[in-house]
């Protein structure tokens, strides 16, 4: 058992007398007190120890000097080490022989050298026992915190200095100061409770402020006074919390508290247990005020409920709107289907009307050819015969007959042109390609626009409806070239394969614009597109400003 050298009491009993400090810290203080007692004894016989040869010294004095747990140092007035004990050898990491003759100031930290000089000067000047604290550096570079006690010995030519290594103690004191500052400045409230009677034995400033009490006001009072009454009493709440903590060793959760002024608030508490030498088993409770968080959670929860209600309300509204939209879409789809059907009927009607128109034009052409043309031909024959039989008629009458013959020829030419416009006979007799050749030839003759025809396909039988539609579209294209393009040259390419007929017409005019192609009032273009679509073909218009227009038609041979 370790004893205190002054009181001769066991250290454990001495510890009980020192409140609030850990065992190890108290033991170090006791050892420090013991070192001071040894130091005083060395100082008492220091002078006698230095007088006379070492071999004549009392062996007990030598043993006390050499085996002291303190560092013991003999310095000349010039600061040179004359002698050192084992304790100093251990501190500085060098033997006595290595230390002897060295300036002691070489082992002093730069920041402590002025302190050492003042310390030695005061001893020499005042001839008293002086103390100071400095930092020493060992041979390994380790920094030591040292407490020095020194005096001058006889003849005033040497100092005797005792050195206590305070490094560990200084570090522990620094750590205790750090822990103390942490407890004093931490934002969380810290509470120490003696479990035997639930009495509070320590509170930090943050906890005092949290509950509205002055420093130390809560110490010595039962912790239940901090618990706000609920469906359980404050005492029952405290016992319940302690029971949970005893069962698990620690506990954390939310506690409803009451301040000194009666205001209630919520805190999150983290409680754990440990053994204290003074108070026995204690609970340390670290508390954080969560009132604002609880209010925020309440507001957030209410906002969530309101949001959910709004979402449900708007969802119902959206469902109604969606149902109306579905009904509207259904109606629109039905209308679109009906419109498509109607449009298709109109297209079919358009194709039918075109077919009827062509048939009517064919009938009219035949009637003109068979009736009017035959009558005019007969008239011409009769006039010619009459002229031949009456050659003796007057010259004036001959001129009248010649004029009537000329009118008859002009009428036949006009009728032939009308018949060709209504239904070119060459289509029925020779087919589409020869009819187009004749059409281009007549176009060139009447307009002066050069037509370059390039036929790249063999003659093939084409359905009458396809032939008529292509011929009429080409007629319309040539009319547009004559009236709008300002072209001087037209290139026509006829191509295709066994299943399709392709014709491409390109002029060198001003070029059609996209706006003209898309213009809803371009009825000529619309009519051409409808004719070609009616036989399941395609027609593409492409214009380059200043360079001309290209139109490409592709249709199946048998639509």
| Nearest CA-CA partner of 131 in 152, 109, 89, 161 | 161
- pLDDT confidence band for 40 (50 / 70 / 90): low
Q: What mean pLDDT do residues 220-226 have?
A: 90
Q: Over 70: is that where the pLDDT of 32 sits?
A: no
Distance CA 503, CA 495 (A): 6
52: left (phi over 0), alpha (psi -120 to 50) or beta: left
**Mean pLDDT confidence for 40-58:** 44
The residue assigned the tokens 């614009």 is 513
pLDDT at 34 > cutoff 60: no
Q: What confidence score (pLDDT) does residue 209 get?
A: 93
Q: Is the pLDDT of residue 39 over 70?
A: no
As given in the structure block, the two tokens for residue 517 are 């192609």
pLDDT of residue 315: 92
DSSP strand pairing (450-455 vs 280-289)? unpaired
Please report which confidence band the pLDDT of residue 156 belongs to, taking 50, 70 and 90 as the band edges.
Answer: low
Evaluate if residue 347 carries a pLDDT over 80.
Answer: no
Model confidence band, residue 201 (pLDDT cutoffs 50, 70, 90): very high
Please report the pLDDT score of residue 215 as a whole number: 92
3-state secondary structure of 391: coil
How much is the pLDDT for 465? Answer: 83
DSSP code for 108: B
473: which residues sit within 8 A by CB, 6+ positions away? 528, 531, 532, 539, 553
Assess contact for 536 and 554: CB atoms under 8 A.
no
What percent of the chain clears pLDDT 70, i.e. is strictly above it? 83
Handedness of CA 170, 171, 176, 181 (dihedral sign): positive
Give the pLDDT band of residue 20 (cuts 50, 70, 90). Answer: very low
Q: What are phi and psi of 217, to 5 degrees?
A: -70, -30
Q: What's phi and psi for 461, nearest 5 deg?
A: -75, 125
pLDDT score, position 183? 83
Backbone angles phi, psi at 301, to 5 degrees: -65, -45
Mean pLDDT for 498-505 is 91
Residue 130: what pLDDT?
Answer: 92
Mean pLDDT of 286-311: 90
Query: What is the DSSP pairing of strand 81-84 with strand 130-137?
Result: unpaired
User: Which residues are 455's β-sheet partners?
Assistant: 494
Q: Is 101 a residue whose pLDDT tops 80?
A: yes
* 253 three-state secondary structure: strand
- pLDDT at site 263: 92
For the cut 80, the answer to whether the pLDDT of residue 423 exceeds it is: no
CA gap 206, 106 in Å, rounded: 48
CB neighbours of 175 closer than 8 A, spacing ≥ 6? none
pLDDT number for residue 15: 36
- Predicted local distance difference test score (pLDDT) of residue 161: 92
Question: pLDDT, tens digit, for every residue of 438-451?
Answer: 889 989 998 999 99
- What SS3 class is residue 126? helix
HSE-CB of 15 using CA atoms within 13 angstroms: 18
Res 548: pLDDT: 93
- State pLDDT tens for residues 465-487: 888 888 889 988 999 999 988 99
User: Rounded distance, CA 251 to CA 296, Å?
Assistant: 24
Predicted confidence band of residue 114 (pLDDT cuts 50, 70, 90): very high
Higher pLDDT pick, 194 / 459 = 194
pLDDT bin (cut points 50, 70, 90) of residue 168 is confident
Q: What is the mean pLDDT of the chain?
A: 81
What are 319-328's pLDDT values in tens digits? 999 999 999 9
Q: What is the pLDDT of residue 392?
A: 66
Q: Of 188, 220, 193, which Cα lies nearest the Cα of 204?
A: 188
State how far the Cα of 203 lies from the Cα of 212, in Å rounded to an integer: 12
Bridge pairing between strands 143-152 and 158-165: antiparallel
Beta bridge partners of 467: none
Q: 46 pLDDT exceeds 50?
A: no
State pTM to two decimals.
0.40
State the pLDDT confidence band at 393, using cuts at 50, 70 and 90: low
- The pLDDT, as a whole number, for residue 184 is 86
pLDDT score recorded for residue 65: 46
Q: Is 217 helix (H, G, I), strand (E, B) or coil?
A: coil
Q: Quick one: average pLDDT of 373-394?
A: 76
CA distances from 299 to 174, 292, 293 (A): 46, 10, 10
Q: Identify the DSSP state of 103.
A: B
Cβ distance 538 to 544 under 8 Å? no
Write out the DSSP string of 65-78: HHS-SSEEEEEETT
Q: Each residue of 524-557: pLDDT tens digit?
A: 888 889 888 888 899 999 999 999 999 999 999 8
Question: Beta-carbon neighbour count of residue 526 at 10 Å?
Answer: 12
Check residue 394 and give its pLDDT.
Answer: 65
CA atoms within 13 A on the CB side of 97: 0
Give the pLDDT score at 234. Answer: 67
DSSP for 365-386? Answer: HHHIIIIIHHHHHHHHHHHHHH
Supply the pLDDT for residue 155.
66
Provide mean pLDDT across the span 507-534.
89
Determine contact, residues 138/93, Cβ cutoff 8 Å: yes
Confidence at residue 298, expressed as pLDDT on a 0 to 100 scale:
87
Helix (H, G, I), strand (E, B) or coil at 254: strand
- Looking at the predicted structure, is the pLDDT value of residue 252 above 50? yes
Element containing residue 200 per DSSP (H, E): strand 199-203
pLDDT value of residue 405:
80
Helices 23-50 and 167-185 meet at what angle, rounded to 10?
Answer: 150
Q: What is the DSSP letter of 312?
A: H
Write down the pLDDT at residue 12.
Answer: 42
pLDDT at 22 over 70: no
- Residue 83 φ then ψ, to 5°: -155, 155
Q: Which residue has the higher pLDDT, 481 or 14?
A: 481
Look at residue 166 in the predicted model and tell me its pLDDT: 87
Q: What is the DSSP letter of 139?
A: T
CA distances (Å), 385 to each of 380, 382, 394, in order?
A: 9, 5, 16
Q: What is the pLDDT of residue 51?
A: 41
pLDDT exceeds 90 at position 463:
no
**3-state DSSP call for residue 28?**
helix
């Amino acid at each position: 058992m370790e004893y205190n050298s002054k009181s001769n009491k066991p250290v454990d009993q001495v510890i009980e007398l020192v409140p609030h400090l850990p065992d190890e810290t108290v033991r170090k203080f006791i050892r420090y007190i013991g070192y001071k007692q040894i130091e005083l004894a060395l100082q008492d016989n220091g002078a006698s120890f230095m007088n006379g040869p070492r071999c004549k010294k009392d062996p007990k004095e030598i043993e006390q000097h050499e085996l002291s747990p303190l560092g013991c140092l003999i310095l000349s007035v010039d600061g040179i080490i004359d002698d050192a004990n084992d304790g100093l050898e251990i501190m500085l990491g060098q033997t006595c022989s290595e230390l002897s003759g060295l300036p002691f100031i070489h082992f002093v930290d730069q920041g402590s050298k002025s302190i050492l000089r003042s310390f030695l000067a005061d001893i020499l000047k005042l001839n008293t026992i002086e103390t100071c604290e400095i930092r020493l550096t060992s041979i390994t570079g380790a920094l030591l915190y040292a407490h020095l006690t020194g005096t001058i010995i006889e003849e005033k030519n040497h100092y005797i200095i005792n050195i206590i290594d305070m490094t560990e103690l200084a570090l522990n004191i620094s750590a205790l100061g750090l822990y103390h500052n942490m407890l004093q400045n931490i934002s969380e409230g810290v509470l120490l409770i003696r479990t035997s009677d639930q009495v509070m034995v320590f509170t930090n400033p943050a906890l005092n402020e949290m509950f509205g009490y002055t420093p130390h006001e809560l110490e010595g009072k039962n912790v239940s006074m901090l618990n706000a009454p609920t469906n359980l009493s404050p005492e029952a709440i405290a016992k319940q919390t302690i029971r949970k903590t005893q069962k698990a060793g620690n506990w954390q959760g939310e506690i409803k508290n009451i301040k000194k002024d009666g205001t209630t608030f919520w805190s999150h508490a983290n409680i754990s247990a440990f053994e204290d030498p003074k108070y026995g088993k204690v609970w340390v409770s670290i508390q954080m005020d969560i009132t604002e968080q609880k209010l925020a959670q309440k507001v957030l929860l209410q906002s969530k409920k309101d949001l959910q209600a709004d979402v449900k309300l708007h969802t119902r509204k959206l469902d109604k709107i969606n149902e109306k939209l579905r009904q509207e879409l259904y109606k629109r789809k039905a209308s679109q289907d009906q419109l498509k059907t109607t449009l298709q009927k109109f297209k079919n009607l358009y194709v039918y009307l075109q077919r009827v128109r062509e048939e009517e034009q064919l009938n009219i052409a035949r009637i003109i050819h068979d009736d009017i043309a035959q009558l005019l031909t007969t008239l011409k024959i009769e006039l010619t015969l009459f002229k031949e039989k009456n050659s003796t008629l007057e010259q004036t009458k001959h001129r009248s007959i010649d004029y009537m013959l000329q009118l008859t020829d002009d009428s036949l030419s006009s009728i032939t042109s009308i018949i060709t416009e209504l239904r070119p006979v060459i289509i029925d007799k020779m087919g589409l390609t020869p009819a187009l050749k004749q059409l281009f030839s007549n176009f060139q003759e009447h307009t002066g626009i050069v037509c370059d025809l390039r036929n790249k396909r063999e003659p093939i039988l084409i359905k009458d409806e396809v032939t008529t539609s292509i011929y009429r579209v080409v007629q319309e294209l040539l009319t547009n070239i004559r009236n709008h393009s300002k072209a001087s040259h037209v290139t026509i390419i006829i191509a295709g394969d066994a299943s399709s007929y392709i014709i491409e017409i390109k002029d060198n005019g001003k070029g059609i614009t996209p706006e003209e192609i898309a213009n809803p009032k371009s009825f000529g273009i619309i009519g051409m597109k409808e004719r070609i679509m009616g036989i399941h073909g395609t027609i593409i218009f492409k214009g380059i400003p200043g360079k001309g227009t290209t139109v490409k038609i592709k249709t199946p041979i048998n639509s």
